[in-house]
Amino acid sequence: MKKYILLGIDGVLTSQRNRIMAMILEPKSNLYGLDYFDMFCMVNLESIPVETGADIIVSSSWRRLGKETLIRVWEHNGRCSRRLVGITPVENQAKRDAIEAWIAAHPDDRYVILDSEDLRLRNQVRTAPEVGSTLKDAREAISILNKD
């Protein structure tokens, strides 16, 4: 059984403080909104694979950029991208539908959904978009993935 994090990005890896900072500092390089990524949120996210061995599947609307572009965003951000292994289906599917399709295609795998939008799906950890992913969110995700 493999473990996966189905990852939203806006409101999970971003926070209100980072959006405000980006507007104030007027960043010169903005690779697909990268300057809005909150380092605290990234560190919280990265603790989940360390504790669980989970890989990351991007379920955010950012999935439309494609896996290779998302890997470049991660690397440009100075973060390890080896855990980012895929994206949910893109073919004109809403986020929830794409997640449900991915779950249906992986019935034997364990997953957690990390998203700020209330998707009303099992195993979701809902983040607060103002602050993004917190240590508490990461611990809850770890608990779901490591549940016996």
Given this model, what pLDDT does residue 55 score?
96
Q: Is 117 helix (H, G, I), strand (E, B) or coil?
A: coil
User: What domains can be seen in the chain, in order of their start residue?
Assistant: 3-146 (3.40.50.1000)
| Positive or negative: CA dihedral 126, 132, 135, 136 | negative
Of 58 and 30, more confident: 58
From the list 36, 11, 40, the residue with the least C-alpha distance to 119 is 11
Which pTM was predicted? Answer: 0.89
Average pLDDT over residues 26-30: 55
pLDDT of 72 reads 82
For 54-89, write each residue's pLDDT tens digit.
999 999 998 998 888 888 887 776 666 778 899 999
- Do 101 and 93 meet the contact criterion of CB atoms below 8 Å apart? yes
